[in-house]
Chain A
Amino acid sequence: MADSTATIDAAGIDRWIRAFATAVAENEGMLTRLDSAIGDADHGSNLARGLKAVLAKLDGSPPEGPAALLKQTGMTLVSSVGGASGALYGTFFLRMATAAGATDALDQAGFAAALRAGVDGIVARGKAEAGDKTMYDALAPAVDALDAALGGEDFAGALRAAAAAAAAGRDATTPLQARKGRASYLGERSIGHQDPGATSAALLIAAAADTLG
C-alpha cells in the first residue's frame, strides 16, 4: 500500500532492533562458522551476546525517542561485544543517533539519512573501502538502493530494495580477497568464503525491511 507519510518512531526502532537480535540469534551458528573459516570464530557468539544485552536494556526502562534508543543500543554494543564488530556496530548506531537528532519520529528521508550516517561512521572507524570484503560491502549498496528508491510512494518497497541490495552485496563478498581485519592475514586463502560481517549486516537491513515498511 502506498504510504508516503510513514514515520519511524521509537516503537519502530525498538521493533527493528528486536528483529535484528532475533535474526542474529537464529543465525549465530552460521555466523560463527563463516568466521571460523577466515577469522577467529566468534562473530556469531559476540554479536549475539551484545544483542542480548541490548534486549535487556530495551526490556528495562528504555529512554524515549528514536535517537535515545539508537544511542543506548550503540553504547551497549560497544561495551559488551568487544573486538572490531563491537566498535563497528556500536559506531553505526551512535552515528545514527546523532543524525536522527531530537525528534519523536523520523520521516523516510530522515531515516535514510540517519542510516547513511551510520554507514559513514563505520567507514570512518574501519577505513574500509568497497571490495575489501567487509560489512561495508553489504551496507553501501543498501543505503544507495534506499536513497534511489526514496522519492517514490512505497517506503516498504524501498526498504525491500535496500535489503535485496545488501543480500547481493553480501553474496558478492565470496570471491573477494580480504583486505581488512584478521581475514586479511590469510591473503588469497580468504577467497571463496562469504564474509561474516557482510552477512550480519545484511541481516540488519533485512530486519529493517521486515519491521519498518
Chain B
Amino acid sequence: MKKLINDPADVVSEALLGMAAAHPELRIDHENKIIYRADAPVQGKVALVSGGGSGHEPLHGGFVGPGMLDAACAGEIFTSPVPEQVMAATRGVDGGAGVLHIVKNYTGDVMNFDMAAELAAAESGVEVVAVVTDDDVAVQDSLYTAGRRGVGVTVLVEKIAGAAAAEGRDLAAVADVARRVDAAGRSMGMALTSCTVPAAGRPTFDLPDDEIEIGIGIHGEPGRRRVPTAPAREVAEMLVEPILSDLDFTGGDGVLAFVNGMGGTPLLELYLMYNEVATILAKSGVTVVRSLVGPYITSLEMAGCSVTLLKLDEDMLRLWDAPVRTPGLRWGV
C-alpha cells in the first residue's frame, strides 16, 4: 500500500486539520469530527446535516457552506458516524427552524442517524426530519435486501435542498424537495480497480487486470456482475441502460446528467465518458439541460465512475442554479 498518510489511525483527523487550514470559512470540531459553516447556526433557517463514513470526499464535508449543508459528520473510513456526533451537529446548527438529516441508505448510517434524531428530540426538543437517499439501481430486489444504496443523487439532494433552505422554506418543504429529488434520481456505478482502506492495508476486493465490476457501491461492495474490460462506449451502455429501464427520463423539464469519478479516474476519462453518456441519452430521447462532471462522491482511490440522472422539474432546476459556496461546489457567488 502506498498512500500519502502518516499513520492509518490518523487519516481522518489529519485530513480534517487540513480542511480547517485550507478553509477558514468552515469551523471544525476536531473532537467530534464535525465540519460546520463558520456562521452556524443561521437563525431562522432550516439547517441541513449530513454525514457518513469518510473516504467519499468531497462528500460530505466538502459540501458545507452557504447554499448547501450546515454541518457534516465524518465517520471513520467507510463507517457511519455515531449518534453523539450527529446529535452534536444537530444542536450546533439548529437556528430554530428545525434540522434536516440527509442520510445515505446503508444499514449503519440509517440506524445511527435514527438514534441521533430520537436522542436530539428527547434532550433538546430540536425538530428533526430525516430523508434517506436510495438511488442505486444496481441493487435489485429491494424487498429482500437492505434496499437500494444512496449514491450519486445524495450530492444533488444536498445542493437542491440546501438552496431550498437558503431561500427560507420551512422544514416540511425542504424535506419535501429532498424527497422529490431522491425519487426522481437514479444511479449506476462501475469499478476498474478496487480501493484500499488504510487500516486494512490491502485492496478490498481482487479485480483482475482484464475485468471490470459493474454495479458497485461506494465501499467496494460487490456489484451486479463482472465482465471483461470493454471500450468506454460499451461501459456507458452498461451504466445508462439499467437507469433508463428503471425510470422514464423523457419529457418534463429535462434531465441533469452527472458523471462522477470514483476517486482514481482522471477528468479526461470522465469527460470522454460524459460524451458517451450524452450520445446514448440523445438517441433515447432524453433532453439534458444541466450537467455535472467530476469526482464528487468517491470511494478512496478506486478507479471507475458512476452515472446519475435526475429528472428535473422547474423548481428543482431553479434551486440547482441557485448560488452555492462550498469547497466542493461553488457558483453564482
On A, residues with C-beta under 8 Å from B are 40-42, 46, 78-88, 90-91, 125-126, 177, 179-182, 184-187, 189
What's the minimum C-beta distance from A197 to chain B, rounded to whole angstroms? Answer: 11
**Beta-carbon contact of B222 and A186 below 8 Å:** yes
Q: Which of the 9-residue segments B59-67, B107-115, B177-185 touches chain A?
A: B107-115
List which B138-171 residues lie within 8 A (CB) of chain A: 139, 141, 144-146, 149
Q: Mark B283-301, 1 if CB is under 8 A from A, else 0.
A: 0000000000000000000
**Beta-carbon contact of B106 and A78 below 8 Å:** no
**Beta-carbon contact of A185 and B145 below 8 Å:** yes
**Beta-carbon contact of A82 and B75 below 8 Å:** yes
Q: Return chain B residues, CB-CB under 8 Å to A186.
A: 222
- Tell me, in angstroms, the Cα distance from A181 to B221 when the chains sit together: 12
Q: Return chain A residues, CB-CB under 8 Å to B78.
A: 40
**Beta-carbon contact of B111 and A88 below 8 Å:** yes
Q: Return chain B residues, CB-CB under 8 Å to A46.
A: 79
What's the minimum C-beta distance from B218 to chain A, rounded to whole angstroms? Answer: 12
**Beta-carbon contact of B108 and A185 below 8 Å:** no
- Tell me, in angstroms, the Cα distance from A58 to B141 when the chains sit together: 44
- Tell me, in angstroms, the Cα distance from A48 to B208 when the chains sit together: 33
Provide 17 A-B residue pairs closer than 8 Å at the C-beta atoms, listed in order of the A residue.
A40-B219, A78-B115, A79-B82, A82-B81, A82-B82, A82-B112, A83-B79, A83-B108, A83-B112, A85-B108, A86-B108, A87-B115, A179-B144, A180-B146, A185-B145, A187-B141, A189-B222
Interface size (B, Cβ < 8 Å)?
A: 29
B217 sits at the interface (CB 8 A): yes
B83 sits at the interface (CB 8 A): yes
Q: Return chain B residues, CB-CB under 8 Å to A82.
A: 75-76, 79-82, 108, 112
On B, residues with C-beta under 8 Å from A are 75-76, 78-84, 106-108, 111-112, 114-115, 139, 141, 144-146, 149, 200, 204, 217, 219-222
Partner of A182, one of B76, B81, B106: B106
Q: Return chain B residues, CB-CB under 8 Å to A184.
A: 144-146
Chain A residue at minimal CB-CB distance from B219:
A40
Known: A79-B84, A87-B108. A185 touches B217 (CB 8 A): yes
**Beta-carbon contact of B82 and A80 below 8 Å:** yes
**Beta-carbon contact of A180 and B222 below 8 Å:** no
- Tell me, in angstroms, the Cα distance from A177 to B114 when the chains sit together: 26
Q: Return chain B residues, CB-CB under 8 Å to A80.
A: 82
Known: A82-B108, A184-B146. A91 touches B115 (CB 8 A): yes
Q: Return chain B residues, CB-CB under 8 Å to A181.
A: 107, 146
What's the minimum C-beta distance from A90 to chain B, rounded to whole angstroms? Answer: 8
Chain A residue at minimal CB-CB distance from B83:
A78
Q: Return chain B residues, CB-CB under 8 Å to A85.
A: 108
Q: Which 9 A-B pairs have the closest CB atoms?
A: A87-B111, A83-B108, A184-B145, A84-B108, A84-B107, A82-B79, A181-B107, A79-B84, A184-B146
Known: A125-B111, A125-B114. A86 touches B82 (CB 8 A): yes
What's the minimum C-beta distance from A201 to chain B, rounded to whole angstroms? Answer: 16
**Beta-carbon contact of A126 and B221 below 8 Å:** no
What's the minimum C-beta distance from A179 to chain B, rounded to whole angstroms? Answer: 5
**Beta-carbon contact of B145 and A87 below 8 Å:** no
Starting from the known contacts A87-B112, A125-B111, A180-B107, 17 additional A-B residue pairs (CB-CB under 8 Å) come to: A40-B204, A40-B220, A41-B200, A78-B82, A79-B82, A79-B83, A83-B79, A83-B112, A87-B108, A88-B111, A126-B107, A181-B107, A182-B146, A182-B221, A184-B144, A185-B145, A185-B149
- Tell me, in angstroms, the Cα distance from A209 to B82 when the chains sit together: 31
Partner of A185, one of B79, B81, B204, B221: B221
